[in-house]
Amino acid sequence: MRSLRPTTEEFNLLEAEFKAAGSGIKTVAREWIAEDFWFVASAYGFADADVEELIVGRDW
């Protein structure tokens, strides 16, 4: 499976922007984003993908 690291890194940059503004990506949002990563992987035929492996390197 192709790495989702570039997408994870984009979310890391977004989290940095939130932190700079005094906020952050909250727990529920982090879980929804992770589920969406899995949903996309599943749609492309990787239903058995480990969501933690999909979002490896996250800072959010």
pLDDT for residue 2 = 64
Domain range for 16 is: 5-54
In a domain, 12, yes or no: yes
Domain count, the chain: 1
pLDDT in tens, 11-51: 999 999 999 999 999 999 999 999 999 999 999 999 999 99
In a domain, 59, yes or no: no
pTM of the model: 0.81
Give one DSSP letter per residue of 6-24, joined into a string.
Answer: HHHHHHHHHHHHHHHTT--
* Torsion angle in degrees (nearest 10) through CA of 45, 47, 49, 55: 90
pLDDT of 1 over the 70 cut:
no
In a domain, 60, yes or no: no
Alpha-carbon distances, residue 48 vs 19, 35, 42 (angstroms): 33, 13, 7
